[in-house]
Every structure is written in C-alpha cells, then in structure tokens.
Amino acid sequence: MATVVNCPTCGAKVEWTDKNKYRPFCSERCKQIDLGAWAEEKYSIPAVNPPKDFDDDGNSAH
C-alpha cells in the first residue's frame, strides 16, 4: 500500500509513489505556487541563534 500525504499547497490527498513526479504536490500548478511563495519570501526558516558578529543588515560588525 502506497503512502498517502496531503499536498502542501491545496491539501489534496497524494500518493507518494515514483509515478507521481510532483510529490509531495498533487500537480505542477501546486508545485509552482509553492516555489513562488519561497521566491517572494513568504516562508522563512528562523535562526535559533543568529551569529553575533553581524548587524541587522547582515554586514560584518567588525
């Protein structure tokens, strides 16, 4: 039995198989929507402990 996951974009049920070239997405459209969200910086990965030798603009404080 194949693993079934929810599409991260629309929530549709998706089989996680080699036949689905867009996995974990249900379609090319949902894959592109997600990519666009990353490009527009709608998602971010927070830094737990940002380096102390950089200021808020990312420039070296030295």
**Domain locations in the chain?**
3-39
State the average pLDDT for the chain.
84
3-39: CATH topology = Erythroid Transcription Factor GATA-1; Chain A (3.30.50)
Are 61 and 54 spatial neighbours (Cβ–Cβ below 8 Å)? yes
For 41-57, the pLDDT digits (tens) are 888 887 777 667 656 66
Binding site: which residues?
7, 10, 26, 30
For the CA atoms of 19, 21, 24, 25, what is the dihedral angle to 10 degrees?
-120
What value does the mean pLDDT take over residues 4-16? 94
Residue 41 — left, alpha, or beta (φ > 0 → left; ψ -120 to 50 → alpha)?
left
* Cα Rg, the chain, nearest whole Å: 18
Contacts 24+ apart (CB under 8 A), 30-37: 33/9, 34/8, 34/9
Percent of the chain with pLDDT over 70: 81
- Model pTM above 0.85: no
Q: Residues annotated as binding site for Zn(2+)?
A: 7, 10, 26, 30
